[in-house]
């Protein structure tokens, strides 16, 4: 009976539906066949990539303790590398962020390439990297125009590129879009659109958020170092507390995560954030915004620290006074903000890791890559960092950043003389009405 109904439905179907159905069966492939072919197939399991030196040195240990020592040694090596790039300055940091972004993009795109067996898709890898180039051109072009305004206006080629930057960016993207449409092949339609979406989601997750990391860096290196360090501290301390005291599973996506590690990591991260913020707030090279000096054609981090980075006295609540015996405490206002940063890093930041764990489980892989022995790929180390970067950028825009006088003056100087004169008269009238300009003239 069911078969008769289906047959009569096909006979009564409109001509265009029959045409689509027959089209789907060309080359012996139905829609269901195409869909089954798009189902993910797990890639080969990863091999042990631990350096031979460590394997020999730790051969007498159990796999649990061997993994602990491998992770610990390589963690210390990564922290040492982090200190080195901080010492080398903001330009090197920006280059490292770019390299990390490209490697993370490569790892995610490679997973899609292997899992969906996209070897026969025309232009898939070429278009993926082309879209990465387009998005980076757009974001970094916006950054250059924003932070190097006077340099851009001084050089004629840069001024033209800046003026038509968004149109050029759109044209580049549109070219890639047309190339994708022209590359569509009938028997691979669904898979090609899967991978098109895969590429764009990867760009959204990786490129957009790495661009926010650069913006945080320009606000002052402290806004770059403290959030990243809090995520690293939480990752280490949660692992340590979980390794030694963990008994209660936290979430099914990550069976090794425990409540003991989650809670211990939170308290350790908050204390670490307060201490690190206190140390860094006393140095201008960390608290001053990264700006471009037109005279020396280089980056500068010298300024008069804002109130956010000046010691102030705060009254301690009565409940805490009875415990510590102090009535007041001297601390930097930034330390209060560091509590918000470290809290997010330890309570919400791990959800970036849980998201990555769910992604890996969906495709039956252990790590994004085998770049770092005992840690997996670069994306395995930065899954929480990208979420943290977005929070810091939103936090600065909402609670910290105010109007920037230097940028306003730079834009003012690029206007025509009649526009400058109009703004001058408007500002003069406004200040006179408020009594500021009159009193200033009287003082002179």
Q: Residue 333: its pLDDT value, please?
A: 94
Lowest mean pLDDT across 67-81, 83-97, 163-177, 420-434: 67-81
Q: Residue 186: its pLDDT value, please?
A: 87
Does 66 have pLDDT greater than 70? yes
Q: Residue 332: its pLDDT value, please?
A: 95
Longest alpha-carbon distance in the chain: 101
CB contact at 8 A, 321 and 248: no
> Cα(246)–Cα(242) distance, rounded to whole angstroms?
4
pLDDT, one tens digit per residue, over 115-148 is 777 667 778 888 999 999 999 999 999 888 887 7
Does 171 have pLDDT greater than 90? yes
Mean predicted confidence (pLDDT) in 292-302:
73
Determine what percent of the chain is predicted with pLDDT higher than 90. Answer: 35
Q: Is 266 helix (H, G, I), strand (E, B) or coil?
A: helix
Q: Residue 145: its pLDDT value, please?
A: 82
CB contact at 8 A, 175 and 351: no
pLDDT, one tens digit per residue, over 75-110 is 888 888 888 988 888 888 889 999 999 999 999 998
Q: Which residue has the higher pLDDT, 101 or 37?
A: 101
CB contact at 8 A, 316 and 328: yes
> Cα(378)–Cα(386) distance, rounded to whole angstroms?
12
| Residue owning tokens 């705060």 | 314
> Cα(79)–Cα(261) distance, rounded to whole angstroms?
21
> Cα(197)–Cα(85) distance, rounded to whole angstroms?
35
Count CB-CB contacts under 10 A for residue 64: 8
Query: End-to-end CA distance of the chain, in Å?
Result: 101
Q: Where are the alpha helices (DSSP H) in 148-249?
A: 149-154, 156-163, 165-182, 189-202, 208-218, 221-245
Q: How far is CA 233 from CA 19, 61, 161, 240, 345, in A?
A: 60, 26, 42, 10, 9
> Cα(238)–Cα(362) distance, rounded to whole angstroms?
24
> Cα(241)–Cα(92) distance, rounded to whole angstroms?
34
Residue 37: which pLDDT band, with cuts at 50, 70 and 90? very low
Q: Does the global pTM surpass 0.85? A: no
Q: Is 322 helix (H, G, I), strand (E, B) or coil?
A: helix
Instruction: Write out the E strands in 276-404.
Output: 291-293, 298-300, 312-315, 328-331
CB contact at 8 A, 367 and 360: yes
Does 357 have pLDDT greater than 60? yes
In a 13 Å sphere around the CA of 336, the CA atoms on its Cβ side amount to: 15
DSSP bridge partners of 249: 258
Q: Residue 174: its pLDDT value, please?
A: 97
In sequence order, the 6+-apart residues with CB closer than 8 A to the CB of 262 are 238, 242, 250, 346, 350
- The candidate with the shortest Cα–Cα distance to 90, out of 233, 231, 289, is 289
Q: Residue 3: its pLDDT value, please?
A: 44
Mean predicted confidence (pLDDT) in 358-364:
88
Q: Residue 55: its pLDDT value, please?
A: 67
Written as six digits, the tokens of 346 are 């330890």
CB contact at 8 A, 299 and 91: yes
> Cα(416)–Cα(28) distance, rounded to whole angstroms?
68
pLDDT, one tens digit per residue, over 178-197 is 999 999 988 888 889 999 99
- CA 329, 331, 334, 338 torsion: positive or negative? negative
pLDDT, one tens digit per residue, over 8-18 is 434 444 444 44
């Amino acid at each position: 009976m069911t078969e008769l109904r289906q047959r009569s439905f096909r006979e009564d179907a409109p001509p265009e539906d029959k045409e689509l159905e027959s089209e789907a069966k060309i080359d012996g492939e139905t829609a269901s066949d195409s869909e089954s072919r798009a189902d993910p197939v797990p890639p080969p399991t990863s091999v042990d990539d631990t350096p031979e030196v460590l394997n020999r040195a730790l051969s007498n240990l159990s796999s649990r303790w061997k993994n602990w020592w491998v992770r610990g040694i390589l963690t210390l090596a990564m922290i040492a590398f982090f200190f080195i790039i901080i010492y080398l300055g903001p330009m090197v940091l920006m280059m490292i962020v770019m390299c990390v972004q490209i490697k993370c993009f490569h790892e995610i795109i490679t997973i899609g390439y292997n899992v969906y067996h996209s070897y026969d898709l025309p232009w898939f890898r070429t278009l993926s990297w082309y879209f990465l180039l387009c998005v980076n051109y757009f974001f970094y072009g916006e950054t250059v125009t924003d932070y190097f305004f006077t340099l851009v206006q001084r050089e004629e080629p840069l001024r033209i590129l800046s003026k038509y930057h968004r149109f050029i960016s759109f044209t580049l993207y549109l070219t890639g879009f047309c190339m994708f449409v022209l590359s569509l092949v009938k028997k691979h339609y669904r898979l090609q659109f899967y991978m098109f979406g895969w590429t764009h989601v990867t760009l959204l997750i990786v490129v957009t958020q790495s661009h926010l990391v650069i913006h945080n860096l320009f606000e002052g290196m402290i806004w770059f170092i403290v959030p990243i360090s809090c995520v690293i501290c939480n990752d280490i301390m949660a692992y340590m507390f979980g390794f030694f005291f963990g008994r209660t599973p936290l979430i099914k996506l990550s069976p090794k995560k425990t409540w003991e590690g989650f809670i211990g990591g939170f308290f350790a991260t908050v204390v670490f954030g307060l201490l690190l913020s206190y140390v860094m707030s006393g140095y201008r090279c960390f608290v001053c915004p990264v700006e471009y000096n037109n005279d020396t054609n280089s980056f500068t981090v010298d300024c008069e620290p804002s109130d956010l980075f000046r010691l102030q006295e705060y009254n301690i609540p009565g409940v805490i006074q009875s415990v510590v015996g102090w009535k007041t405490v001297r601390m930097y206002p930034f330390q209060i903000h560091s509590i918000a940063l470290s809290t997010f890093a330890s309570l919400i930041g791990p959800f970036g890791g849980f998201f990555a764990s769910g992604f890996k489980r969906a495709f039956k892989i252990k790590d994004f890559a085998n770049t770092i022995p005992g840690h997996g790929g670069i994306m395995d180390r930065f899954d929480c960092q990208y979420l943290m970067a977005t929070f810091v950028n939103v936090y600065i825009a909402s609670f910290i950043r105010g109007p920037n006088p230097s940028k306003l003056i730079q834009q003012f100087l690029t206007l025509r003389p009649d526009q400058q004169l109009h703004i001058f008269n408007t500002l003069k009238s406004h200040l006179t009405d408020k009594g500021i300009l009159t009193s200033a003239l009287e003082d002179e």
